[in-house]
A = this chain, B = another copy of it.
Amino acid sequence: MTMYNSIKEEAYHCNMELPKLGLVLFTFGNVSVADRSKQVFAIKPSGVPYEKLSPEQMVVVDFDGNVIEGDLRPSSDTKTHAVLYKHWEEIGGITHTHSTYATAWAQSQRDIPIFGTTHADHLTVDIPCAAPMSDDMIAGNYEYETGFQIINHFAEQQLDYREVEMILVGNHAPFAWGKDGMKSVYNSAVLEQVAKMALLTEQINPSAPRLKPALVKKHYERKHGKNAYYGQ
């Protein structure tokens, strides 16, 4: 038993949702859960198959990427998580996958257009796709720089990470986050579903228009903000 048991348990359960939701093949994904009071997060160990995972194996890391507790090496994407936690103070969980449709959009280097209310129930803009990173960033501290690529894209596009809880990293794959681990997993599944429906929409109607502002606003506000009336 350690002072980090709670986030290790939560991180374990969140990671185990990924195969259930069909978001990962083998070990192609990871979830982390932060404890803001201790300035650490628990994350999946690198390359361990989901069917062999246990809560004890979760690795505890600080917001600079240093391992605080754990016998195993943390996910190779750990530094990306650390950067996001350090700079975005209101997020409590992060999920990274290579889910099929979201990754295909990332490989296509296109934002996912906002075509319907399923999308607008979760965010009011196209799902952003950051450009592939510069050769310098890649050759340097790659996973660390991936975090900055995300943060910089949000700054350039004037997006708020509290309102847009997901991104595609060009040529790579999606990241999603939220107030806790389960919300980040939820967002990853929503992103995958919206990505699939957007591709199908363009196949059915190549000139399908984006959702109009009144519907975007209405659906987003049903679920978000002080006048939300969805859920209990």
Contact = CB atoms under 8 A, between A and B. Distances in A.
A100 interface: yes
B46 A116 contact: no
A73 B222 CA distance: 14
Contacts of A100: 193, 196-197, 200
Interface in A170-211: 171-173, 186, 189-190, 193, 196-205, 208-209, 211
Question: In the complex this chain forms, how many copies of it are found?
Answer: 4
Contact of A116 (B106, B110, B204, B205): B106
A118 interface: yes
Interface in A135-187: 135, 138-139, 142, 171-173, 186
A128 interface: no
Contacts of A107: 115-116, 197-198, 201, 204, 208
A193 B230 CA distance: 29
B199 A200 contact: yes
Contact of A229 (B73, B189, B202): B73
A171 B216 CA distance: 10
Given A46-B231, A189-B25, A171 B212 contact: yes
Contacts of A101: 200
A144 to B, nearest CB: 13
B214 A135 contact: yes
Interface in A57-110: 72-73, 76, 98, 100-101, 103-110
Contacts of A142: 218
Contacts of A109: 205, 208-209
Contacts of A48: 232
A117 interface: yes
A205 to B, nearest CB: 4
Given A28-B118, A171-B212, 13 more contacts: A47-B232, A73-B229, A103-B197, A104-B197, A106-B116, A107-B201, A115-B171, A116-B172, A117-B173, A171-B215, A172-B215, A199-B204, A202-B204
Given A117-B171, A204-B110, A215 B104 contact: no
A232 B46 contact: yes
Nearest first, the 10 A-B pairs at minimum CB distance are A47-B231, A104-B200, A108-B205, A108-B204, A107-B116, A107-B115, A135-B214, A107-B201, A138-B214, A117-B172
